[in-house]
Amino acid sequence: MPNGLSFNRLSERPGGTVTICFEGQPVTAQDGDTVAAALLAAGYAVTRTTPVHGVPRGPFCMMGVCFDCLLEIDGRANRQGCMVRVTEGLQVRRMAGARSASIGEADA
């Protein structure tokens, strides 16, 4: 559920919209958005819980410095949501604490 944080679009990009999937819910984003921007625009403030004390966090710096917007994107854990562009059908999930090692597993 989006939780009450609100950003509005000043203008729309003619390139059109992209739909990504966040925690199983469709999220409409603008072409050119980062995943973190798309989630904020859709009203999702909390994008992970920390591995230390399990507290909720959201995007903070939006420029790749703080690592607070870590997300699971297309099955890969702990990716910086502010550094990945949206593409159609992108599967995005919150990171809940520490990652699992089994994601992306393949034997050598």
Partner 1 sequence: MPERTDLVVIGAGPAGMAAAACAAQRDLRVLLIDEQPAAGGQIYRGLDYTDRVKLEVLGPDYPRGRELLDGLAQPGIRCLPESTVWQVTREREVFISRNGEADVVVADRIVLATGAMERAMPFPGWTRAGVMNAGAGQILLKGSALIPDDNAVLAGSGPLLYLLAWQYLQAGVKVGAILETTPRSNLIQAMVHLPGALRANAYLRKGIGLLRAIRRSRVPHFRGVTALRALGSAQVESVAFESGGNAHALPCSILLLHQGVVPNVQITRSLGLEHDWAPLPRCWHPRVSAWGETAIEGIYVAGDGGGIGGAEVAAQQGRLAALHAAQHLGAISVQECESQARPVRRHLAYHLAVRSFLDTLYSPAREYLCPSNETIICRCEEVTAGSVREYVRLGCLGPNQTKAFGRPGMGPCQGRLCGLTVSEVIAGARGVSPAEVGYYRVRPPIKPITLGELATLPLPDEQQLEAQDIG
Partner 2 sequence: MQTEFAVVGGGLVGMAIAHGLLRLGRQVTVFDEGDAAFRASRGNFGLVWVQGKGADMPDYARWTRRSAALWPVFAQTLRDRTGIGVELSQTGGIDIFLSEDEAERGVARLSKLRKALGGDYPFEYLGHNALKQLVPEIGSTVTGATLCPEDGHVNPLYLLRALYAAVLDSGGQVINGEPVRKIEYTGAGFVVTNGETWPAQKVVLCAGLGNAHLAPMVGLSAPVKPVRGQVMICERVVPFLNYPSVQIRQVGEGAVQIGDSKEDVGLDDGTTSEVLAGIARRAVRTYPLLRDVRMVRSWGSLRVMSPDGYPVYDRSRSCPGASLVTCHSGVTLAAIHSMVLAGWIAGDAHPELVEGFSAERFEFQPAV
Q: Contact positions toward partner 1, by CB under 8 A?
A: 3-13, 15, 30, 32-34, 37-38, 40-41, 45-47, 50, 52-53, 55-68, 70, 78, 82-83, 85
Q: How far is Cα 72 from Cα 93, in angstroms, rounded to an integer? A: 5
Give the Cα-Cα-Cα angle 26, 90, 94 (nearest 5 degrees).
75
Taking the least distance from each CB to partner 1, the nearer of 45 and 93 is: 45
102 binds, among partner 2, partner 1, none (CB under 5 to 8 A by kind): partner 2
Given 26, 54, 64, 104, the residue binding partner 2 (CB under 8 A): 104
Max CA distance (Å), the chain: 49
Give the Cα-Cα-Cα angle 37, 103, 27 (nearest 5 degrees).
25
Place of tokens 């921007």: 37
> Alpha carbon of 20 to those of 4, 38, 72: distances in Å?
20, 9, 13
105 binds, among partner 1, partner 2, none (CB under 5 to 8 A by kind): partner 2
Given 4, 11, 53, 106, the residue binding partner 2 (CB under 8 A): 106
- Binding residues among 45-74 for partner 2 as defined by CB under 8 A: 51-52
Site of interaction with partner 2 (CB under 8 A) = 51-52, 76-78, 97-108
